[in-house]
Chain A
Amino acid sequence: DQQVKQNSPSLSVQEGRISILNCDYTNSMFDYFLWYKKYPAEGPTFLISISSIKDKNEDGRFTVFLNKSAKHLSLHIVPSQPGDSAVYFCAASPYNQGGKLIFGQGTELSVKP
């Protein structure tokens, strides 16, 4: 069973507008969430994270929101740039499992000029 789900395989956004990528999870024992960005033929790079004790974390153009009651997190990119075009993975870390991460399926973001 998929404990972390990204239900949108792809998203297309105009340059300068907001990109919103969504992620749902089922396990209430997840205590840390991360977003990674991946370009083709490269490894994923860490983007932003959030602890389960917070509901928002911001880093420049990137903001992650966590809604624990809905078991939902989202990544907002404002403003979107063509260089943001990549596959975005959300990941969740189960409490007390020493750093193991469970990844979603990924959402491919395309930012058009």
Chain B
Amino acid sequence: DVKVTQSSRYLVKRTGEKVFLECVQDMDHENMFWYRQDPGLGLRLIYFSYDVKMKEKGDIPEGYSVSREKKERFSLILESASTNQTSMYLCASSPPGGGTQYFGPGTRLTVL
């Protein structure tokens, strides 16, 4: 059974703070993804990674960075949080070649 965990379910931060969202998967998947979900906009891809230490920009990378030091862990970093980054953040993983992505439970981030 694939398990993707995210470090926090709910997070409240202040404008300008640096925010770290952690994601860990236990299925030895090469591919990992970060999305944000907003009402009426669906899931939008922020960054993804096909292997350790590599990263690719998604559709909305501005204001975010990522880190993948180990295969099982993919971190999303908000360098200086802003109110328009208030959202649900979802992490996913998939085996090489793609196909089904498996999602974590999400982190509801509120930036005040």
Instruction: List, in ascending order, chain B residues with CB within 8 A of A46's CB.
Output: 100-102
Contact residues of B between 84 and 112, Cβ < 8 Å to A: 90, 92, 94-106, 108
Distance from B9 Cβ to chain A, minimum over Cβ atoms (Å)? 8
User: How many residues of chain B get a CB closer than 8 Å to chain A's CBs?
Assistant: 30
Q: Please, which residues of chain B bring their CB within 8 A of the CB of A104?
A: 42
Q: Which listed residue (B43, B48, B95) contacts A44, Cβ 8 A?
A: B43
The size bracket of the interface on A is 20 to 34
Contacts A44-B43, A105-B41 known; A32 to B103 CB distance under 8 Å? no
The reply to whether A43 and B99 form a contact with Cβ atoms under 8 Å apart is no
Contacts of A60 in B (CB 8 A): none
* Closest 7 A/B residue pairs (Cβ): A99-B98, A43-B103, A103-B43, A105-B42, A103-B42, A99-B94, A99-B31
Which B residues fall within an 8 A CB radius of A? 4, 9, 31, 33, 35, 40-45, 48, 50, 58, 90, 92, 94-106, 108
Q: Which residues of A contact B (CB under 8 A)?
A: 4, 6, 9, 32, 34, 36, 41-46, 49, 89, 91, 93, 97-106
Given contact pairs A44-B43, A44-B90, enumerate 8 new A-B contacts (beta carbons under 8 Å): A9-B40, A42-B106, A45-B103, A100-B48, A100-B98, A103-B42, A104-B42, A105-B41
